Chains A and B, each alone.
Chain A
Amino acid sequence: MTTTPERTTPDLTWLDDVTMTELERNPYPVYERLRAEAPLAFVPVLGAYVASTPEVCREVATSPSFEAVITPAGGRTFGHPAIIGVNGEIHDDLRSMVEPALQPVEVDRYVDELVRPIARQLLEQFEDDGRAELVAQFCEPVSVRSLGNLLGLEDVPNDTLRDWFARLNRSFTNAAVDENGEFANPEGFEDGDRAKAEIQAVVDPLIEKWTKEPGDSAISHWLHDGMPEGQTRDRDYIYPTIYVYLLGAMQEPGHGIASTLVGLFSRPEQLEEVVDDPTLVPRAVSEGMRWTSPIWSATARITKEPVTLAGVDLPAGTPVMLSYGSANHDTGDYDAPSTYDLHRPPLPHLAFGAGNHACAGIYYANHVMRIALEELFEAIPNLERDTSEDVEFWGWGFRGPTSLHATWEV
């Protein structure tokens, strides 16, 4: 059975006019309408079905009738086999490769010693300045330095890691397709390709070193763990997952820290509460992740068989994009979802996804964000947003503030 978009979404012609630029600037109006009118709908510019409500996202992410698939632009960027887009034995092997360092017991062992000194050192560089652009000077550097050191990339500068994730991001989310389903902007992948070449130039020698002399870095463990004596995983096999890390795992804790701060700045009395009582930081982060989910619409599933969902017939082999950032603004679950509210009932949100492809780094990332904010409020308890500068959010696949200017008395 085949199902055309025209048949299932006869009243959704307004979607024909939706552009990537519009979605990247502010995806919320389009998705609000999708949630109301068609929680599972074919969006022409994306060339794919989109799940926009919590119910449909959960169903797609956890149903045995679906399995993982990487988005076309994601696959073009990362190659195969990226952990987010594979299934079965390869997925099991890649999860078993990355998970040991991300288990809660293991994270508890190292995360404080890893992140706290990094956050403190960054703060020392500007805490007496009385002003800072927190995204570039704190949120992103805490994130990339922490994960960089964990991976074994101690010698790669913060700004290089930040540059890599930004370029991989633009490539990964270069999702627009034309009427034939072809990439509308193929040149948009070229800079990502250059970034990957730079990454390989740095990481190849490290892989060669760790192949001969196993180290304590995560990538060294990826090469050796679970392999027969004398064998390592092939570098081509792990590179797609290295790119997953160098994009999402590097970028998103920084997005989460910055979005939480913007949310708290929008509620000065709640900022005050969190500054006064650091035990509220995890709750503030959780609401920040709901309010502006960093992985807004970057993952997908594909039907393994014909499926009828939300009134839509999907033939086998139909990809569906998961819009977790939209699901987390569903009015069925959240009153005034576009408002940041520390005290809203702490319902589980979908910022880390669901099912067997849910984020493997959830525990690690939450602690990185927590420690970063604890240290920021400890050093600068009188932090205020610099209201002479605007805060602009950007991104459809991945979303967060592009800058965040703050001031304080020194």
Chain B
Amino acid sequence: MPAIRGADREVECPSDTPVLRSLLRAGVWLPNSCNQGTCGTCKVRVLSGEVDHADAPLDTLGAEERAAGLALACQARPCSDLVVEPHGAPGDAGRLTHPLRDVVGTVTLVEEIARDTRRVLLALDEPLAFDPGQYVELSVPGCGSRRQYSLANTADEDTVLELHVRRVEGGLATDRWLCRTLAVGEEVEVSGPLGDFVLPSEEDDDGGPMAMIGGGTGLAPLVGLARTALARHPERELRLYHGVRGEADLYDVDRLRALGDDHPGFTFVPVLSDEQVDGVRHGFPTDAFTEDVPKARGWSGWLCGPPPMVEAGVAAFKRRRMAPRMIHREKFTPADAAGTSTPAPHVTQEEVA
């Protein structure tokens, strides 16, 4: 059992487990986001020892980088004792974090909340520590695949996980399982938490204004983030935009509007791209933001949804002069990015440091 030393901590690591997972299981933070080899956030430099790059895609980790001793921590398996260090800006790598754990969740609710969209609640056998905005992986029964879903919870909601699941036609996880056969009482294998789509630490959060834009079930992590941000600073300005195609795709409107009752600085703005409905904004949520906010200097921004929406959101935020380092992104990308053929909702994320 090789030991991996990263950031002055020694971690036991089985040779069949990616380096990143071993570090996170031991509670040692390494920047990470997609956990499927596509985003490059977890790139490390191997200072000594050998790794098996396993399924690391050449697009993310080129031959030159491999030759130079770089590895993708989410893919690389240790072949010996290793010493690794984060590549690029070290950020807060090496700090203690919520350990990555395997838990069992029992389905307590399956609720149709919008067109092709379900809310799933999973009661855990033991509490799971995480930061709002992070995600978990579910093991798809009978096939060994895993799928990633953002948590809509706040940190104190650590015994019942809330997931928002949208059915993808032909999707291995959603069409065949979560949106079809899943029933109350079923047990689900859960690994988490993962990802870095999170708020600044409480001491670094000065209560500044925030903009959040979610596309479809990209709303889920924002529900946890928004409630946490408002609990920290009840008076803060926070604008939450939810972009969907039509009225039938909206959900949790009353729940989110109600947040405004106790928080005068909070505004929830649903936006429909394909339908004109009285009383509901029409267009893209990113355009609605630029219409509403003339200047976002000093704001922070959170974006979660399909890649084109996230890119449009980055452009909209910068157009209103939000500092790029304050822009946080979580992209949905197809699960088949690594080669399988069935697209399913899947989260990868890259955060602008």
Q: Indicate if A37 sits at the interface (CB-CB under 8 A).
A: no
Closest to A278 in B: B325
**How distant is B42 from chain A, measured CB to nearest CB, in Å?**
16
**How distant is A301 from chain B, measured CB to nearest CB, in Å?**
36
Q: Name the contact of A276 in the complex, choosing from B88, B89, B320, B324 (C-beta under 8 A).
A: B324
Q: Indicate if A381 sits at the interface (CB-CB under 8 A).
A: yes
Q: Indicate if A208 sits at the interface (CB-CB under 8 A).
A: no
Q: Which secondary structure characterizes the binding site on chain B?
A: loop
Contacts of A275 in B (CB 8 A): 318, 324
CB pair B318–A381 under 8 Å, yes or no, is yes
CA distance in complex: A379, B322 (Å): 8
Q: Indicate if B314 sits at the interface (CB-CB under 8 A).
A: yes
**How distant is A283 from chain B, measured CB to nearest CB, in Å?**
11
Count of residues in A whose CB is under 8 Å from the partner chain = 15
CB pair B89–A279 under 8 Å, yes or no, is yes
Q: Name the contact of A409 in the complex, choosing from B88, B89, B319, B322 (C-beta under 8 A).
A: B319
Contacts of A379 in B (CB 8 A): 297, 321, 323
Q: Indicate if B232 sits at the interface (CB-CB under 8 A).
A: no
Closest to A375 in B: B323
Q: What are the interface flags for A114-127 relative to B under an 8 Å C-beta threshold, 1 for contact and 0 otherwise?
A: 00000000000001
CA distance in complex: A379, B321 (Å): 7
Segment 350-406 of A: residues with Cβ below 8 Å from B: 377-382
Q: Indicate if B115 sits at the interface (CB-CB under 8 A).
A: no
Q: Name the contact of A381 in the complex, choosing from B88, B89, B322 (C-beta under 8 A).
A: B322
**How distant is A90 from chain B, measured CB to nearest CB, in Å?**
43
Q: Name the contact of B323 in the complex, choosing from A381, A408, A409, A410 (C-beta under 8 A).
A: A381
CB pair B295–A410 under 8 Å, yes or no, is yes
Q: Indicate if A112 sits at the interface (CB-CB under 8 A).
A: no
CA distance in complex: A381, B314 (Å): 10
Q: Indicate if B143 sits at the interface (CB-CB under 8 A).
A: no
CB pair A377–B319 under 8 Å, yes or no, is no
Contacts of B322 in A (CB 8 A): 381
**How distant is B43 from chain A, measured CB to nearest CB, in Å?**
13
Segment 235-256 of A: residues with Cβ below 8 Å from B: none
**How distant is A280 from chain B, measured CB to nearest CB, in Å?**
10
Q: Indicate if B353 sits at the interface (CB-CB under 8 A).
A: yes
Q: What are the interface flags for B235-263 relative to A under an 8 Å C-beta threshold, 1 for contact and 0 otherwise?
A: 00000000000000000000000000000
Contacts of B353 in A (CB 8 A): 277-279
Closest to A377 in B: B324
Q: What are the interface flags for A330-344 relative to B under an 8 Å C-beta threshold, 1 for contact and 0 otherwise?
A: 000000000000000
Contacts of A410 in B (CB 8 A): 295, 321
CA distance in complex: A382, B88 (Å): 25
Closest to A374 in B: B325
Q: Indicate if B352 sits at the interface (CB-CB under 8 A).
A: yes
**How distant is A123 from chain B, measured CB to nearest CB, in Å?**
10
Contacts of B297 in A (CB 8 A): 127, 379
Contacts of A380 in B (CB 8 A): 321
CB pair A382–B321 under 8 Å, yes or no, is yes
CA distance in complex: A378, B323 (Å): 5
CB pair A382–B314 under 8 Å, yes or no, is no
A377-B324, A378-B325, A381-B324 known; A277+B352 contact, CB < 8 A: yes
Given contacts A276-B314, A379-B297, A381-B322, 8 further A-B pairs with CB under 8 A are: A276-B324, A277-B324, A279-B89, A378-B323, A379-B323, A382-B318, A382-B320, A409-B321
Show the binding face of B for A, using Cβ within 8 Å.
88-89, 295, 297, 314, 318-325, 327, 352-353
